[in-house]
Protein backbone atom coordinates (compact mmCIF):
# COMPACT_ATOMS: atom_id res chain seq x y z
CA UNK A 1 0.00 0.00 0.00
CA UNK A 2 1.53 3.38 -0.96
CA UNK A 3 2.21 5.72 1.93
CA UNK A 4 0.31 9.00 1.94
CA UNK A 5 2.58 12.00 2.35
CA UNK A 6 1.52 13.30 5.75
CA UNK A 7 4.70 14.66 7.22
CA UNK A 8 4.18 18.08 8.72
CA UNK A 9 5.33 20.02 11.74
CA UNK A 10 5.20 18.19 15.04
CA UNK A 11 1.82 19.05 16.51
CA UNK A 12 -0.74 17.92 19.03
CA UNK A 13 -4.24 17.54 17.59
CA UNK A 14 -7.30 17.34 19.82
CA UNK A 15 -10.19 15.48 18.21
CA UNK A 16 -13.73 15.23 19.58
CA UNK A 17 -16.13 12.65 18.13
CA UNK A 18 -19.81 12.94 19.09
CA UNK A 19 -23.24 11.82 17.95
CA UNK A 20 -24.56 14.14 15.26
CA UNK A 21 -26.70 16.96 16.56
CA UNK A 22 -30.36 16.02 16.36
CA UNK A 23 -29.66 12.28 16.42
CA UNK A 24 -30.11 10.14 19.53
CA UNK A 25 -27.01 9.35 21.54
CA UNK A 26 -27.31 5.66 22.55
CA UNK A 27 -24.45 5.88 25.05
CA UNK A 28 -26.08 8.93 26.62
CA UNK A 29 -29.42 7.13 26.88
CA UNK A 30 -27.73 4.12 28.53
CA UNK A 31 -25.98 6.43 30.98
CA UNK A 32 -29.30 8.08 31.90
CA UNK A 33 -30.72 4.66 32.76
CA UNK A 34 -27.66 3.76 34.86
CA UNK A 35 -27.93 7.07 36.74
CA UNK A 36 -31.62 6.39 37.46
CA UNK A 37 -30.72 2.87 38.61
CA UNK A 38 -28.18 4.47 40.96
CA UNK A 39 -31.09 6.34 42.55
CA UNK A 40 -30.09 9.78 41.31
CA UNK A 41 -32.94 12.02 40.22
CA UNK A 42 -32.68 15.26 38.28
CA UNK A 43 -30.68 14.11 35.25
CA UNK A 44 -32.58 15.31 32.17
CA UNK A 45 -30.05 14.61 29.41
CA UNK A 46 -26.75 12.87 28.82
CA UNK A 47 -24.43 12.88 25.84
CA UNK A 48 -21.06 11.19 25.42
CA UNK A 49 -18.08 12.19 23.26
CA UNK A 50 -14.83 10.39 22.57
CA UNK A 51 -11.69 12.49 22.83
CA UNK A 52 -8.46 11.67 20.99
CA UNK A 53 -5.16 13.46 21.44
CA UNK A 54 -2.97 12.71 18.44
CA UNK A 55 0.69 13.73 18.64
CA UNK A 56 3.08 13.57 15.74
CA UNK A 57 4.63 15.14 12.70
CA UNK A 58 1.67 15.06 10.37
CA UNK A 59 -0.53 17.43 8.44
CA UNK A 60 -4.02 18.60 9.35
CA UNK A 61 -5.25 16.93 6.14
CA UNK A 62 -4.05 13.55 7.37
CA UNK A 63 -5.68 14.08 10.76
CA UNK A 64 -8.92 14.79 8.85
CA UNK A 65 -8.46 11.49 7.03
CA UNK A 66 -7.88 9.62 10.31
CA UNK A 67 -11.11 11.13 11.65
CA UNK A 68 -13.17 10.34 8.54
CA UNK A 69 -11.87 6.83 7.95
CA UNK A 70 -11.14 5.59 11.45
CA UNK A 71 -12.41 7.58 14.42
CA UNK A 72 -15.90 8.75 13.39
CA UNK A 73 -18.83 6.87 11.86
CA UNK A 74 -19.90 9.51 9.29
CA UNK A 75 -23.59 8.56 9.17
CA UNK A 76 -24.17 9.14 12.87
CA UNK A 77 -21.15 11.03 14.21
CA UNK A 78 -19.45 14.38 13.71
CA UNK A 79 -15.89 15.26 14.63
CA UNK A 80 -14.02 18.45 15.36
CA UNK A 81 -10.29 19.02 15.45
CA UNK A 82 -8.62 21.47 17.78
CA UNK A 83 -11.34 22.17 20.34
CA UNK A 84 -10.13 21.11 23.79
CA UNK A 85 -13.48 21.66 25.45
CA UNK A 86 -16.37 23.70 24.19
CA UNK A 87 -18.27 25.75 26.77
CA UNK A 88 -21.14 23.81 28.31
CA UNK A 89 -24.63 25.25 28.03
CA UNK A 90 -26.17 26.53 31.24
CA UNK A 91 -27.31 23.65 33.44
CA UNK A 92 -24.95 21.12 31.83
CA UNK A 93 -22.07 19.54 33.76
CA UNK A 94 -19.05 18.35 31.79
CA UNK A 95 -16.99 15.43 33.06
CA UNK A 96 -13.91 14.21 31.22
CA UNK A 97 -12.36 10.88 32.16
CA UNK A 98 -8.84 9.85 31.09
CA UNK A 99 -6.31 7.20 32.01
CA UNK A 100 -3.86 7.98 34.80
CA UNK A 101 -0.28 8.76 33.77
CA UNK A 102 1.68 5.54 33.40
CA UNK A 103 -1.44 3.42 32.82
CA UNK A 104 -1.47 1.90 29.33
CA UNK A 105 -4.33 3.15 27.18
CA UNK A 106 -5.90 -0.06 25.80
CA UNK A 107 -7.13 1.65 22.63
CA UNK A 108 -3.81 3.27 21.75
CA UNK A 109 -2.18 0.21 20.15
CA UNK A 110 -5.28 -0.59 18.10
CA UNK A 111 -5.65 2.99 16.86
CA UNK A 112 -1.92 3.29 16.08
CA UNK A 113 -2.02 0.02 14.10
CA UNK A 114 -5.15 1.15 12.23
CA UNK A 115 -3.50 4.48 11.35
CA UNK A 116 -0.50 2.62 9.93
CA UNK A 117 -2.91 0.40 7.97
CA UNK A 118 -4.31 3.57 6.40
CA UNK A 119 -0.77 4.23 5.16
CA UNK A 120 -0.28 7.27 7.41
CA UNK A 121 3.08 7.70 9.10
CA UNK A 122 4.35 10.26 11.57
CA UNK A 123 1.94 9.62 14.45
CA UNK A 124 3.90 9.29 17.71
CA UNK A 125 1.02 8.64 20.09
CA UNK A 126 -2.74 8.60 20.49
CA UNK A 127 -4.36 9.07 23.89
CA UNK A 128 -8.07 8.65 24.51
CA UNK A 129 -10.54 10.11 26.96
CA UNK A 130 -14.29 10.26 27.22
CA UNK A 131 -16.34 13.40 27.84
CA UNK A 132 -19.81 13.30 29.38
CA UNK A 133 -22.37 16.12 29.24
CA UNK A 134 -24.96 15.79 32.01
CA UNK A 135 -27.93 18.17 31.87
CA UNK A 136 -30.42 18.74 34.64
CA UNK A 137 -30.67 19.63 38.28
CA UNK A 138 -27.47 18.11 39.65
CA UNK A 139 -25.11 19.51 42.27
CA UNK A 140 -21.34 19.05 42.20
CA UNK A 141 -21.43 16.24 44.80
CA UNK A 142 -23.97 14.31 42.72
CA UNK A 143 -21.86 14.79 39.59
CA UNK A 144 -18.78 13.46 41.43
CA UNK A 145 -20.81 10.49 42.70
CA UNK A 146 -21.93 9.67 39.14
CA UNK A 147 -18.33 9.93 37.92
CA UNK A 148 -16.94 7.79 40.72
CA UNK A 149 -19.56 5.06 40.56
CA UNK A 150 -20.38 4.87 36.85
CA UNK A 151 -17.83 6.62 34.64
CA UNK A 152 -14.38 5.67 35.87
CA UNK A 153 -12.25 3.19 37.71
CA UNK A 154 -10.25 5.41 40.11
CA UNK A 155 -7.40 2.86 40.22
CA UNK A 156 -6.58 3.55 36.56
CA UNK A 157 -8.57 6.66 35.56
CA UNK A 158 -9.15 10.20 36.77
CA UNK A 159 -11.46 13.12 36.16
CA UNK A 160 -9.54 15.59 34.00
CA UNK A 161 -11.69 18.54 34.98
CA UNK A 162 -12.52 17.57 38.54
Range of the domain at 20: 10-159
Per-residue confidence of the chain (162 residues) as pLDDT tens digits? 444 567 778 889 999 999 999 999 999 999 999 999 999 999 999 999 999 999 999 999 999 999 999 999 999 999 999 855 566 778 899 999 999 999 998 899 899 999 999 999 899 999 999 999 999 999 999 999 999 999 999 999 999 875
- We report the CATH number of the domain holding residue 117 as 3.30.1280.10
Residue 2 located in a structural domain: no
Residue 5 located in a structural domain: no
Domain tally, the chain: 1
Residue 4 located in a structural domain: no
Strand arrangement of the beta sheet that strand 43-57 belongs to: 77-81, 10-19, 43-57, 123-136, 92-99, 157-159
Amino acid sequence: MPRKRCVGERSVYHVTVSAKSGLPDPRGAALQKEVRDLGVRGLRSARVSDIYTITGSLTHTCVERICRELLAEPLVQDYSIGVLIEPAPKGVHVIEIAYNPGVPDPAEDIIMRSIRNLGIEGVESVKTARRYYLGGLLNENTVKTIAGKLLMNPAIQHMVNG
